[in-house]
Amino acid sequence: MMAYLQNRDVQYIAEDALFKNMSTGEEYRGRAEIGGLLHYMYQVAFDAIAEVKNVVITEDKAMFDGYFKGRHIGAYNGLAATQKEVNVPLCVTYDLADGLIRCAMTPRIEGRQYVLGAGASSTMAGFAASIAGVLGVPAPRPGLPAAPFRAAQRAAALVFRLTGVASAYVHDREVLVADKRATSARARAELGYDPRASVDEAVRAMVDGFLAAGQLPARRTA
């Protein structure tokens, strides 16, 4: 949390995060939209910083108060740049995504990769079937065995080393082979990550979010 407050690095923002301006009611959803808003406010409309005065952090919530301080250098809310200094009181509250916060607070893990998901491991085919079940559509048909894709991947890697030509076809499909599994075991062991939802529960929440945002067609009903 402190790392985010110090540099506003969007890697600490969850993909399904919601930012709401309580004074205007404006909402921004997802890492990309929120990151774009922060960039606009702190580097385009204003050359500004968030001066943090007080911070309260609990297991799943955080709040800070301070000041939005800087200079008005670009158009904002219909007003052209005035080059005037601004100093606005600021109070922000956060819901914390457990896994991302644990990554931020665990030392010496740079470059390591973690799956922040349900406790049980799952195949890509099983994950796709869960999504299909929530949407009420047929699950994808089983694919080919993994061995041919593994062989193609090794061949593609050799071609890349010799010629510098990468095979997007092989790379994009390798993750979908039958025995490819995702597990949060490393996150549990190294970060103390303790997921509370099953794969189906997590998928249902994810799909509900996309449906509410109009980014998926309505579920099919029998």
- Please tell me whether residue 95 adopts helix, strand or coil conformation: strand
The size of the chain, in residues, is 222
Confidence check: pLDDT of 171 > 70: no
Beta carbons within 10 angstroms of residue 118's beta carbon: 21
Instruction: List the structure tokens of 93.
Output: 């509250």
Q: Are residues 131 and 170 in the same domain?
A: yes
Chain centre distance of CA 114:
13
Whether residue 117 lies inside any domain: the answer is no
pTM above 0.75, yes or no: no
User: What is the pLDDT at residue 45?
Assistant: 93
SS3 75: coil
Residues spanned by the domain of 25: 2-96
108 is a domain residue: no
HSE of 172 in the Cβ direction (CA atoms, 13 Å)? 4
The answer to whether position 163 is within a domain reads yes
In a domain, residue 115? The reply is: no
Instruction: Check residue 175 and give its pLDDT.
Output: 52
pLDDT at 98 over 90: no
Cα 217 from Cα 175, distance rounded (Å): 25
Reported as a single tens digit per residue, the pLDDT across 24-35 is: 778 888 888 888
pLDDT of residue 5: 66
Span of 64-73, 111-120, 129-138 with lowest mean pLDDT: 111-120
Is there a single domain that holds both residue 176 and residue 139?
yes
Query: Are β-strands 122-123 and 85-95 bridged in parallel, bridged antiparallel, or unpaired?
Result: unpaired
Whether 114 is in a domain gets the answer no
Q: For the purposes of burial, counting CB atoms within 10 Å of the CB of 3, is it exposed (0-12), middle (13-18) or buried (19 or more)?
A: middle
Confidence of residue 158 (pLDDT cuts 50, 70, 90): confident
Dump the DSSP string for 102-160.
HHHHSSS-TT-----S-SS-EEHHHHHHHHHHHHTSPPPPP---HHHHHHHHHHHHHHH
The pLDDT of 33-56, averaged and rounded, is 86
Mean pLDDT, the chain, whole residue set: 75
Per the CB < 8 A criterion, the answer to whether 98 and 60 are in contact is yes
Question: Looking at the domain assignment, is residue 104 inside a domain?
Answer: no
What local confidence, expressed as pLDDT, does residue 97 receive? Answer: 62
pLDDT at 221 over 60: no
Whether 35 contacts 8, CB under 8 Å: no
What average pLDDT does this structure show over 167-190? 65
Structure tokens at 77: 């809310």
Integer Cα distance of 163 and 75 in angstroms: 49
Mean pLDDT over 141-156 rounds to: 73
Residue 102 lies in a domain: no
**Contact partners, residue 201, CB within 8 Å, separation at least 6:** 118
pLDDT tier for residue 80 given thresholds of 50, 70 and 90: very high
Tally of domains in the chain: 2
- Which of these three, 78, 96, 114, is where a domain ends? 96
Confidence grade of residue 86 (pLDDT, cut at 50, 70, 90): very high
* pLDDT score for 140: 75
The pLDDT of residue 218 is above 80: no
Ranges 26-35, 183-192, 205-214, most confident: 26-35
On whether both 207 and 135 belong to a single domain, the answer is yes
Distance between alpha carbon 53 and the CA centroid of its chain, in Å?
A: 27
